[in-house]
Amino acid sequence: MGWFAALRSEADPIWRGIHGHPFLAELSAGSLSLDRFRFLIRQDYPYLAEFSRVLALAVSRGGRLAEMAFFDDLLHATLSSEMELHRSFCAELGIAPEDLESARLAPTAFAYTRHMLAVGALGTQAEIAVALLPCTVSYAEIGARLGRNPPAGAPHFARWVAAYASEEYQAIASRLIALVDGLDGRVSTEERARCREHFLVGSRYEWLFWDMAYRMEDWPTF
């Protein structure tokens, strides 16, 4: 069993919770409210901006040139393809571009990005790579699963699913898994323990992110 498979197996109850979340169930059925979908887009956009900063830190950590090149490729794909997907939804969903650019992270998204940035700032290349897995690979799993039976009569949802079911996105997730598996024999016992914790924390945050979007979470007012 590869390193990712072992991590994924341990976190399986969390990932089953992700796949079974009402947000994704309703999106798959085409019955998700557009307000909830708009909320997701407006939160995922600034999240991806912070995710890109983590990728830049991964590039700076060095390691083998092929690993640096992968993180650079993923950074480019995030800043261009994935964030462009979100921008393309603006006109369709009635979100002004300036509203998307100025969107404030909700509490859960803020906490999740700060977890990722802390790993990026303080962790090793292996720690960063493992911390990236829950987001990257869970979206690939969601895309592959929902892509087998795309939401009918819901073009926004179907296009979102198609992006993460695409060969391009699936290949990115597969390359990250392969990179992590390749780092397996190059980490210390202590580093491995930290990586395991990053993966479990990130997996929990992935569930919380969907729940945040479903509840349209906001900061309290005083």
Q: Which residues participate in catalysis according to the annotation? A: 135, 206
* Nearest by Cα to 122 from 187, 36, 195: 195
Lookup: tokens for 182 = 């390749």
* Whole-number Å distance between alpha carbons of 160 and 69: 27
* Whole-number Å distance between alpha carbons of 172 and 3: 17
Decide if 151 contacts 29 (C-beta within 8 A). yes
Q: Look at phi and psi of residue 216 and say left if phi exceeds 0, alpha if psi is from -120 to 50, else beta.
A: left
The C-alpha angle with vertex 37 and arms to 172 and 177, in degrees rounded to 5, equals 15
* Nearest by Cα to 51 from 112, 107, 99, 102: 112
* Whole-number Å distance between alpha carbons of 199 and 222: 35
